[in-house]
């Protein structure tokens, strides 16, 4: 039985806007891996999570514009 590949830890950053959000995925060293822009609707949010998780083990997310 083979071993599962090691999943690298990644972090998601989201810049929010009214009609679209821009996401960036970075590795644990801060290297940008990819950028994605999506429309603001529930279907696209599910696609966003699938996209982010495709890069590795999603550890956390930072969302701009939430007032926190």
- The structural domains of the chain, ordered by start, are 9-63 (3.30.420.40)
pLDDT of residue 7: 72
pLDDT of residue 65: 78
pLDDT of residue 30: 93
Closest CA to 41 of 19, 22, 61: 19
pTM of the model: 0.80
Beta strands in the chain (DSSP E): 9-16, 20-27, 32-39, 57-63
pLDDT of residue 36: 97
Q: pLDDT 10s digit of each residue in the chain, 68 long?
A: 566 666 789 999 999 988 999 999 999 999 999 999 999 999 999 999 999 999 999 989 999 876 65
């Amino acid at each position: 039985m083979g071993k599962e590949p090691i999943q690298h830890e990644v972090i998601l950053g989201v810049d929010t806007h009214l009609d679209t959000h821009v996401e960036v995925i970075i590795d644990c060293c801060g290297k940008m891996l990819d950028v994605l822009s999506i429309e603001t609707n529930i279907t696209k949010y599910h696609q966003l999570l699938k996209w982010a998780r495709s890069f590795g083990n999603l550890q956390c997310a930072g969302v701009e514009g939430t007032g926190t």
